[in-house]
Structure 1
């Protein structure tokens, strides 16, 4: 309430307090509107995160099962031989902005194809494992992006809610209280000034009457 304490007395101070109150109330309204939109978007992102997490949990065990079968059939050397010469996968994150919050919106996953010079897997289980791990990688990337987006929007929801609460519960009531005090003080000052003017006028009339006698 530092601003209210520094408000000058009189009409100028009351006008300043009214302006500050209007700005605070308009700001709280806008923040509440933003909060409603953020909550809706956050709920959507949380649902997307849960779906992506479920897909990733489904894909990973399948890939691990095929890998285990391939290792049991041909041993670990076969895995190293099948992986030799294959480049790393690439993940590109596409970003978007929602209500001022920048967050991942989508991901593009590129799994390199097996080059002609690379040795082919020694059994079909490893072939299935390679394809399954590609799907699991895509699912993991989508889950990571969805999780990050939900986290970022969730943090903004909390921050905006705190700002609205600070305005509604603290700043606006204090401004209203200060404005009420300013109105009362101005009304009292105007009343006292009116009393002084009437007293001065009556004194002048009495003095003029006495002089005429």
Structure 2
């Protein structure tokens, strides 16, 4: 938003300033409404992110516990053999929009079943570790989506807050000051015009009396 050129002390200039001020006030009101909605949504997204983060840390810890047990029981060779039967996970991210900001609304994870021709895990701990890591991948996808959503909405929240602050603290006061300055100049001009008209009327009356 650019501040208009210094308004001339005219009624047209005053009208332009009033319109600019009205637009700025309406814009600030709308932005504050948007700001409130974003603040509420951002708080919910931060809570969701924190919840997902807790679940992810817990699931990773459980998976690592099973993995250590499996390594103790079967060694790294058993782990390498079990890994040969697994496939790559596919992550699908759903999106939504909050006040024009597109962000993830959730994520789902698809992990293919173990290849039937591959060797099964050599011990129960390896099977448990595989199941735990499958769950950890799903939770990680949900955590990543929640974190991204909170960051995107949070960034828009900061931008809107800065715009509201700029309007309320700088733009609107400058318009109000310029409007007041033009108003005073017009009052002064009207007062001077009234004095000149009185003087002109008095001089015209004086000339008329002299002629008589």
Aligned to 1:119: 119
The Cα of 1:116 is off from its aligned counterpart by: 1.1
After TM superposition, the structure 1 stretch with the greater mean CA deviation from structure 2, 90-99 or 50-59, is 90-99
1:62-92 deviations in whole A, cap 9, x for unaligned? 1111111111111111111111142200111
Superposition TM-score, scaled by structure 1 size: 0.95
Q: CA deviation at 1:202?
A: 1.9
After the TM superposition, which parts of structure 1 deviate over 3 Å for at least 4 consecutive aligned residues?
A: 1-5
Partners of 2:160 and 2:65 lie apart in 1 by 46
- Matching residue of 1:130: 130
Aligned to 2:8: 8
SS in 2 for 1:119: coil
Query: Quick one: distance in 2 between partners of 1:8 and 1:91?
Result: 61
Deviates more, 1:2-11 or 1:18-27: 2-11
Cα distance in 2 between the residues matched to 1:198 and 1:118: 109
How far is 1:180 from its partner? 0.6
Query: What whole-Å deviation, never above 9, does each CA across 1:161-192 have from its counterpart, x for those lacking one?
Result: 11111111111111111111111000110111
CA contact (8 A) 2:3 2:171 kept: no
Deviation at 1:4, TM superposition (A): 4.5
Deviations along 1:131-170, whole A, 9 cap, x unmatched? 1001111111111111111111111111111111111111
- Where structure 2 has 5 or more consecutive residues not aligned to the other structure, the ranges are none
What is the correspondence of 1:46-195 to structure 2 with a 5 Å cutoff? 46-195=46-195
Note the C-alpha offset of 1:6: 2.8
Q: What secondary structure, in the 3-state scheme, does the structure 1 residue paired with 2:117 have?
A: coil
| Structure 1: stretches of 5+ with no match in the other structure | none
Match of 1:202 in 2: 202
Q: TM-score, normalised by structure 2?
A: 0.95
Q: Deviations over 1:99-123 (max 9, x none)?
A: 1211111101001111211111111
Aligned counterparts of 2:92 and 2:10: Cα–Cα separation in 1: 62
1:39-66 CA deviation, whole Å, 9 max, x = no partner? 0000000000000001001101111111
Root-mean-square deviation (CA, aligned residues, Å) is 1.4
Q: Which moved more, 1:12-21 or 1:95-104?
A: 95-104
Question: Using the alignment, how far apart are the partners of 1:2 and 1:179 within structure 2?
Answer: 16
